[in-house]
Structure 1
Amino acid sequence: MTALALPLAEPRARFRDLLASEWLKLWSLRSTGWSLLLGALSVIAFNAGQAWDHYRYWTSYDTASQARFVRDGMALMDAFTGNAGMVLILATAAMGAMTVVGEYGSGQIRTTFAAVPARRSLMAAKVLVVTAVMTGFGLAVAGVSFWVSQAILSVHGIGLPVSHPGAIRIVVASALLAPVSALVGMALGTLLRTSAPTIVSSVVLLLVVPGVVSEKRYWSAVLAHLLPQKAWQRLVQIGDWPAFFPWTVGGAWLVYGAWALVAAAVTVLSVQRRDQ
């Protein structure tokens, strides 16, 4: 009697295989490299432009203004400017969103989930890859921005080394703004699934809302302090600035961590029971 051949079950994908797959998927897109390059050049240009402005007009400042600039370490304000922070948020949030909505738009997500039924594991791998890439991108941009801006100012002898108090915090906070923004973009992309609403929602949440909330009243100050852009502004703050409701550097770091963790959790968990 001939025994019936049983079909061999295909082995489950190992998590490291999912990581490798998501890594290849991200870098197989030509737009990834170009987007990172253009984003980096834009951010660095804003920071270098601010430093160049101070360098160019340094001799026109009066003695008191020059002394205050040096005394307060204001050269660090050129290391990563507010405009550069806005560009970084926009670029990385959009890239994070597109890693998700791009697959939904093309329909590739159905094939992906059919090949890997473990949706949460797949999305966790996507989150880790995007976080790693954006962290490296943020470190490169923040590091180069610091070096370029301080090199420009050093022509007049007013540039500061990275060992200066507060310099490392500015570089690290600016670098981590990239993965935090990208994770928020991913979370919104997972919930909304289409490009336009996701990008608009990212802009509103990460840039518009922080711009309209006032820190002059307690309730709105609490809301402002819970936003990642406001947390970044607190972390890169130089010296003591007057505030109606001041908050701590430690609190700003906690806001960073909370947004990253919640956004990652939404991205991973929201796909489990939703039809694709």
Structure 2
Amino acid sequence: MTTLATTSTAATRRGAAGPARRRDLLGAEWIKLWSLRSTPVVLGVLLVSYLYLAYHAAQLAHDSYPTWPAFAKLDPDPAHDAFDFPKFLLLMATAGTIGAMTVAGEHASGLIRTTLIAVPARGRVMLAKVTVVSVVLAVLGLLIGVGCWGITLAVVSDRITGFSFTTPGIWRVITGTTVVVPVCGLIGMAVATLIRNTAGTVFAVLAFFLVGPLAVKAPLPLLSANQRADLGNTLPAYAWGRLTIMSHGRLVEHVSSIPAAWTSLTLWALVSVAITVTVLRHRDV
């Protein structure tokens, strides 16, 4: 009886410690991320900046509306101004850099060694980091998506009518923005996991998010125009850009379908998580 009771008590303790350890891992990663002064500052600046950019673009559209040609007035797309593609490339690059620094920064400082001494299960540590970064960036994306659309409506609604938060397609736009920000962060984490050098990681992330979308539109050797378009549509930037199109007048040749855009973002996220969680298991730190 004593042996059974002791075994039962030990098993109970192990079962109770499991969920607590997961919470501890998430809490530790949250502290690592949020204790850096740069984290709330950068996130706050991004939020305020993109809300202002949406306000400025909406104000320009509002002031120029009387001069629009008739066909443009028949099929307006306020989301095109609220979620301007070139401006949001910088948001994606910044999100990618934030994600990258959560990994590269720990390798540079040596904190990753201390963490793995405390918790040798490397996969669980990285999965907790992925979870925290994804949630924080998703909240940022949601605030930017809702805020940009809300500000746009407030500015243009007296001239450009028929749009609201119930407009068909707008929640696809907001959800796409909510999703693409953490996806970019996950890509940054995967790049940092592979490179493990701060300068090289930042360069690679910025090149991917800022140069990549432009490079695939340039005449590339051995690739036809259709192949370049297909390659571009696989990038997170163009997948997000497709999700933010609400006007038929904005659709051009070689634009991917909405399901293909969602699939692209999903695959980028899954592959990035797989790299971040598994590669560290086979490397020294």
TM-score after normalising by structure 2 = 0.86
Question: Among residues 118, 124, 129, which one is paired with 1:126 in the alignment?
Answer: 129
Task: Report the CA distance between 1:200 and its aligned residue.
Answer: 1.3
Contact 2:96 2:188 in 1 (8 A): yes
1:148 aligns with 2:155: no
For the residues of structure 2 that align with 1:109 and 1:72, how far apart are their CA atoms? 53
What is residue 58 of structure 1 aligned with on the other side?
Answer: 65
Q: Per-residue CA shift, 1:83-126, capped at 9, x if unaligned?
A: 33112112211111111111111111111111111011000000
Contact 1:134 1:179 in 2 (8 A): yes
Contact 1:72 1:239 in 2 (8 A): yes
For the residues of structure 1 that align with 2:176 and 2:27, how far apart are their CA atoms? 28
For the residues of structure 1 that align with 2:171 and 2:74, how far apart are their CA atoms? 18
Question: Among residues 242, 267, 270, which one is paired with 1:258 in the alignment?
Answer: 267
1:179 aligns with 2:182: yes
Task: Report the CA distance between 1:217 and its aligned residue.
Answer: 1.8
Question: Among residues 233, 238, 260, which one is paired with 2:246 in the alignment?
Answer: 238
**Structure 1 residues 35-46: aligned runs within 5 Å:** 35-46=42-53
For the residues of structure 1 that align with 2:120 and 2:77, how far apart are their CA atoms? 53
Structure 2 gap ranges (5+): 1-13, 219-223
Question: Among residues 96, 99, 103, which one is paired with 2:102 in the alignment?
Answer: 99
What is residue 4 of structure 1 aligned with on the other side?
Answer: none
What is residue 272 of structure 1 aligned with on the other side?
Answer: 281
Question: What's the Cα RMSD here?
Answer: 2.0
Task: Report the CA distance between 1:20 and its aligned residue.
Answer: 1.4
What is residue 79 of structure 1 aligned with on the other side?
Answer: 82
Identity %, equivalent residues: 35
Tell me which amino acid in the other structure corresponds to 2:152: S
For the residues of structure 2 that align with 1:22 and 1:85, how far apart are their CA atoms? 27
- Structure with higher helix content: 2
SS of 1:172's equivalent in the other structure is helix
Contact 1:47 1:84 in 2 (8 A): no
Q: Per-residue CA shift, 1:129-188, capped at 9, x if unaligned?
A: 111111111001111111011111124354720211221111111121110110011111
What is residue 15 of structure 1 aligned with on the other side?
Answer: 22
Contact 2:172 2:243 in 1 (8 A): yes
Contact 1:44 1:145 in 2 (8 A): yes
Q: Per-residue CA shift, 1:246-271, capped at 9, x if unaligned?
A: 42100000000000111111110110
**Structure 1 runs of 4+ off > 6 angstroms?**
10-13
Count of residue pairs the alignment pairs up: 263
For the residues of structure 2 that align with 1:113 and 1:172, how far apart are their CA atoms? 35
SS of 1:270's equivalent in the other structure is helix
Contact 1:96 1:184 in 2 (8 A): yes
Question: Among residues 98, 108, 111, which one is paired with 1:108 in the alignment?
Answer: 111
Task: Report the CA distance between 1:71 and its aligned residue.
Answer: 2.6
Q: Per-residue CA shift, 1:23-65, capped at 9, x if unaligned?
A: 1221111111101001112222222211111122233x05xx2
